[in-house]
Structure 1
Amino acid sequence: MSAHQVVVVGAGMGGLSSALRLAHRGLSVTVVEASDAPGGKLCQPMVGGVPIDSGPTVFTMRWVFDQLMGEVGTTLEAELSIAPLAVLARHWWDDGGRLDLHADPAVSVDAVARFAGPAEARRFQSFCERARAVYRTLEEPYIRHATPNAAQLTWDIGLRGLATLSALGPLYGLWRSLGRQFADPRLRQLFARYATYTGSSPWQAPATLMLIAQVEMDGVWSVDGGMHALARCLERLARARGAVFRYGADCERIELRQGRVAGVHLADGERLPADSVVFNGDSAALREGLLGEPLRRAVPSQAPQRSLSALTWALHASPGDCPLDRHNVFFQRADRAPYAAEFSDIFARGRLPAAPTVYVCAQDRGTAGSTATGTAPERLFALVNAPATGDGDTITTEDLDRCETQAFELLHRCGLTLTPQGPATRRTAPANFHRRFPATGGALYGQASHGWGSAFSRPVATTPVPGLFLAGGSVHPGPGVPMATLSGGFAAEALMASPALTRKSHPAATSGGTSTPSATTANTA
């Protein structure tokens, strides 16, 4: 094993991806994590006696994980049991409307025709073609590129790519662009929802985010054991290659000597020597000096607009006879509550939405082997978008209760009756997320993707601090399980190419022990 010692701060997906790759290449890797399990936001608490995925629930961009497994000498099929979903998502409106999008594009076209008419089905086909073109244009020069910039992207995509992006009216924003795509406001509402996948408002997010439609059409899978099994898988593979994992080990400070990384100090006073550190926490924690004043210069000094937070419920409950699929989105009727009001409440007023849209993941449904009947309790996870104000006192218990009432009344109008109280329910608010992910206010996606320039304003894997590398959803290429996993690959590659790895280094012992967790540096996906 190499004498070069790497400490990975945070066992979220970016940190796990880095740790696995670096351990596979023979480096000495120690992962320190403030919580008691891997995954970061990809968590799976026990609720009502059963484990419920209570973070990211959608498995997409399979190629990211196929690539990672190939790099470390295995395959996804050899390590995990996954199954493709026939229904990508089921969409509900409280006027009785319901629309499924399917893995089979032809079936989706037929469904849209029945839902909104033949003309809208043709528009849907055109939209899919455009989303595919946007994704193909940006995948290689942006998503797969470790350090993209606007000038290089323009050169890389060429005239054809520029024409594809120009046709969107990218400066208009996603909502306006969708108005040119669809006549039915419900479809505009449905596809505008993709902006929230990056923690953003459809009114401020760039039109290019329609590429998320193609990401889902390329396939959505379920993971046996839940999404948390993916994190456990990467941990297991990294351990098998020599990585050491320390849970309940809270990083208090990253030490610099003569301007470069020299070690990591834990909250209990223990020091871990380090030639390099991969920080898989939110970049806001560095900006605010929570890891030490000298680390502020590792990221841009100007704080970007925070992304969405969330108000969530993990429930072990019976959905009755409501025909849920695995992934469900419940919309308010437009004449009952203008869709724009949800995002005005959150981003302009900093308050919980008065008329929220609700996402529900029914984790025991959607696959061929599903046995959910509607009479027995099932694992359910519900989410409402919220402002990232968890570091203030702007959201009261009364505000949370009021939003909860509105959300569950919407579900009831759509046919899903649940009681969000009792020992079989766990509610999590922005303040809870802020305590887990300090300096964020509970923002779950790093910075909001507002405006075309936001694509190039996230920190990248390399930093101005020698020996410090960044991974996670707050850095390029952005939030989400596959994107965070990619960021870990970028951090590992940057570390392997760094001058420090070519200089002579000597082994140093790492002492044992654990620490008392605190809220200083909990970690991101």
Structure 2
Amino acid sequence: MNVRVAVIGAGIGGLTSAALLAARGAEVTVLEKEAWVGGKARRVAVDGAAIDGGPTVFTYRAVFDEVFAACGARLEDHVKVTRAEVLARHAWDDRGTLDLFADREASVEAVGAFAGAEASAGYRAFAAEAARIFRVLEEPFLRGDKASTPFPMMRRIGLARLPEMLAMRPFDGMWRALGEHFADPRLQQLFGRYATYCGSSPFAAPATLMLIAHVEAMGVWLIEGGIHALAKALAGLAEGQGARVRTNAPVAEVLATNGRASGVRLASGEVIPADIVICNADPSALATGRFGTEVRRAVPAIPPGRRSLSALVWYAHTRTRGFELTHHNVFFSRDYAREFREIAAGRTPSEPTVYVCAIDRGARLSDPAPPPGARERLQIIVNAPADGDVHAYSPEEREQCTQAMIATLRRCGLALEDPLPHRLMTPQDWEQLFPATGGALYGRASHGWAASFQRQGPRTRLPGLYCTGGATHPAAGVPMAALSGQLAARVIAKDLASTRRSPRVAIPGGMSTRSATTGSTG
């Protein structure tokens, strides 16, 4: 493939497409404005400790096995991965604690002990439905080409499988569907939370998003060094194929010649000619002119009302007591509906649900806790409105949010140091890091049946300019960003083959066969 490719942004999607295209012989240059690779998957220094600064949950490992295999490598040769026994620990003040496990039957038993035999049967039925939705959608949607309506996807599935299409439940609300499986509001709350994995409210998302629970049940993996280590491995993989990865190299403008993308201009003034430009930024950055006027009409802007959730994220180095943490922990609010009403109204939750990643703790039952009295690294997340471009978070509001978070943890039995050694990121801070998003961390919210078809696909209205990343098709999250990188590489190969009237070029890592590892994660 004799083509020059410039990739804007060294996030998971951009690095994946860079590695795959470089493996096919393209001359690839990745340009990252920050000093690190990984985009949101970064590390933050607090109190002398390096804390994971972005995504913390690693699922759907098969996607990355495919990417590395397409480049003649193995994931486990680049990062150390360990499969979690405990998927997550969930707490509701004095209303109990529930662990979900990689072992399905262990989860069934735990749900039964937590909420009774009827709840155990409901969980079994829910898990089966989530698995069915995933099986129906995996190839035609998650791994398929972007479609602007459901009809091309329905053709891929086949009319003979009409009952399975209806089983996707795109027109049913997620919260209501969960009520069919769980009478216990705590379990409805627990499984509704999966909508937030793609930045959406469980009260506005379609029941289709129940498939996220199955993706997690297929296997959660811990990476030594966090997701940032995975991003560094992808950058090394791309460089091993001949790509060049440049940090501290912000792109100021996408250039176009004769109605086609022709390269980029850096903030330094340096021009890098390219036949293909891949934007691994939020598509809104293109639509709002952050990369020049030539490309403003290349993609539609995401209206502020359609943005996904943002987040308040605390990076803390603290002693903990009173609650036995595992690696992934969730502490629920007492009124979930009020929490999301407040966010929809543009307010931070008065009593938030809090996710805590205890970075120094494993997720196996036999893993030891940190030594008594030792500080440990925590990443703490609370959902928030994506208003970072219109709302300034004052010191008083930041402290108020911190105290609300601490109150939820204390109510559920977890105490942190006071004062808490931490650094807080607000939607305003996320907007500064990822301009034109308002701090939305997942692109467009998956609200309503049509939302998934309205996400930006790899192709844009400007020939030669493509998009990839967690804000594009198929969805948000680490594995989905990698799938978007696979799709961008595959679509670029198709378009180049069509332009040159040559035989179709196949990019490895697109619709490939499952790996041996995949079989072990079901």
Task: State yes or no: 1:363 paired with 2:366.
Answer: no
Identity %: 48
Q: Displacement of 1:397 after TM fit?
A: 3.1
Task: State yes or no: 1:449 paired with 2:441.
Answer: no
Matched residues in 1 for 2:311 and 2:101: separation? Answer: 27
Note if contact 1:168-1:177 (Cα within 8 Å) is conserved in structure 2.
no
Classify the secondary structure of the residue corresponding to 2:297.
helix
Classify the secondary structure of the residue corresponding to 2:178.
helix
Matched residues in 1 for 2:314 and 2:67: separation? Answer: 32
Note if contact 1:4-1:501 (Cα within 8 Å) is conserved in structure 2.
no
Matched residues in 2 for 1:420 and 1:243: separation? Answer: 47
Q: How does 1:28-427 map to 2 (within 5 A)?
A: 28-148=27-147, 149-158=149-158, 161-164=161-164, 166-167=166-167, 169-301=169-301, 303=303, 305-333=306-334, 338-347=335-344, 349-367=345-363, 370=368, 372-393=370-391, 395-419=393-417, 421=419, 424-427=421-424
Letter in 2 for 1:24: A
Matched residues in 2 for 1:233 and 1:167: separation? Answer: 38
Q: Displacement of 1:401 after TM fit?
A: 1.8
CA 1:160 to 1:403, structure 2 compared with 1: closer, same or farther past 3 Å? farther
CA 1:167 to 1:468, structure 2 compared with 1: closer, same or farther past 3 Å? closer
Matched residues in 2 for 1:119 and 1:425: separation? Answer: 42
Q: Displacement of 1:498 after TM fit?
A: 2.3
Classify the secondary structure of the residue corresponding to 1:29.
strand
Moved more, 190-199 or 156-165: 156-165
Classify the secondary structure of the residue corresponding to 2:22.
helix
What does residue 521 of structure 1 align with?
none
Moved more, 495-504 or 355-364: 495-504
Task: State yes or no: 1:16 paired with 2:15.
Answer: yes
Letter in 2 for 1:70: A
Classify the secondary structure of the residue corresponding to 2:281.
coil
Note if contact 1:307-1:448 (Cα within 8 Å) is conserved in structure 2.
yes
Matched residues in 2 for 1:472 and 1:93: separation? Answer: 34
Classify the secondary structure of the residue corresponding to 2:99.
strand
Classify the secondary structure of the residue corresponding to 1:356.
coil
Letter in 2 for 1:253: E
Matched residues in 2 for 1:314 and 1:127: separation? Answer: 34
CA 1:199 to 1:160, structure 2 compared with 1: closer, same or farther past 3 Å? farther
Q: Displacement of 1:122 after TM fit?
A: 0.6
Q: Displacement of 1:316 after TM fit?
A: 1.3
Q: How does 1:497-516 map to 2 (within 5 A)?
A: 497-499=494-496
Matched residues in 2 for 1:191 and 1:160: separation? Answer: 31
C-alpha offsets along residues 427-469 of structure 1, whole Å, 9 cap, x if unaligned? 1110110001000000000010000101101111112211111
Matched residues in 1 for 2:201 and 2:40: separation? Answer: 21
Question: What is the count of residue pairs matched by the alignment?
Answer: 497
Note if contact 2:10-2:32 (Cα within 8 Å) is conserved in structure 1.
yes
Matched residues in 2 for 1:469 and 1:420: separation? Answer: 48
Classify the secondary structure of the residue corresponding to 1:440.
coil
Letter in 1 for 2:254: I
Moved more, 170-179 or 34-43: 170-179
Note if contact 1:9-1:280 (Cα within 8 Å) is conserved in structure 2.
yes
Classify the secondary structure of the residue corresponding to 2:263.
strand
Q: Displacement of 1:322 after TM fit?
A: 2.1
Q: Displacement of 1:54 after TM fit?
A: 1.6
Note if contact 1:352-1:399 (Cα within 8 Å) is conserved in structure 2.
no
Matched residues in 2 for 1:135 and 1:19: separation? Answer: 28
Matched residues in 2 for 1:454 and 1:234: separation? Answer: 30
Classify the secondary structure of the residue corresponding to 2:52.
coil
Note if contact 1:388-1:442 (Cα within 8 Å) is conserved in structure 2.
yes
CA 1:287 to 1:268, structure 2 compared with 1: closer, same or farther past 3 Å? same
Classify the secondary structure of the residue corresponding to 2:210.
helix
Letter in 2 for 1:318: R
Matched residues in 2 for 1:452 and 1:396: separation? Answer: 37
Matched residues in 2 for 1:46 and 1:429: separation? Answer: 17
Q: Displacement of 1:285 after TM fit?
A: 0.7
Matched residues in 2 for 1:131 and 1:90: separation? Answer: 20
Matched residues in 1 for 2:416 and 2:138: separation? Answer: 40
Moved more, 4-13 or 387-396: 387-396
Classify the secondary structure of the residue corresponding to 1:408.
helix
C-alpha offsets along residues 293-352 of structure 1, whole Å, 9 cap, x if unaligned? 22122212563601000001111112124200110000123xxxx2111111112x1110
C-alpha offsets along residues 270-303 of structure 1, whole Å, 9 cap, x if unaligned? 1111111110000011111211222122212563
Q: Displacement of 1:90 after TM fit?
A: 0.3
C-alpha offsets along residues 205-247 of structure 1, whole Å, 9 cap, x if unaligned? 0100000110011000100121111001011111122111111
Note if contact 2:263-2:275 (Cα within 8 Å) is conserved in structure 1.
yes
CA 1:244 to 1:167, structure 2 compared with 1: closer, same or farther past 3 Å? closer
Matched residues in 1 for 2:45 and 2:242: separation? Answer: 29
CA 1:55 to 1:374, structure 2 compared with 1: closer, same or farther past 3 Å? farther
Classify the secondary structure of the residue corresponding to 2:458.
coil
Note if contact 1:356-1:403 (Cα within 8 Å) is conserved in structure 2.
no
Moved more, 363-372 or 123-132: 363-372
Q: Output the TM-score relative to the length of structure 1.
A: 0.91
Matched residues in 2 for 1:228 and 1:370: separation? Answer: 24
Matched residues in 1 for 2:302 and 2:38: separation? Answer: 28
What does residue 491 of structure 1 align with?
488
Classify the secondary structure of the residue corresponding to 1:34.
coil
Note if contact 1:30-1:246 (Cα within 8 Å) is conserved in structure 2.
yes
Matched residues in 1 for 2:336 and 2:281: separation? Answer: 33
C-alpha RMSD over aligned residues: 1.9
Letter in 2 for 1:375: G
Q: How does 1:457-496 map to 2 (within 5 A)?
A: 457-496=454-493
CA 1:460 to 1:47, structure 2 compared with 1: closer, same or farther past 3 Å? same
Note if contact 1:92-1:99 (Cα within 8 Å) is conserved in structure 2.
yes
Matched residues in 1 for 2:151 and 2:404: separation? Answer: 46
Letter in 2 for 1:309: S
- Unmatched 5+ residue regions in structure 2? 502-522
What does residue 510 of structure 1 align with?
none
Letter in 1 for 2:121: R
What does residue 506 of structure 2 align with?
none
Moved more, 431-440 or 489-498: 489-498
Q: Displacement of 1:420 after TM fit?
A: 6.8
Classify the secondary structure of the residue corresponding to 1:189.
helix
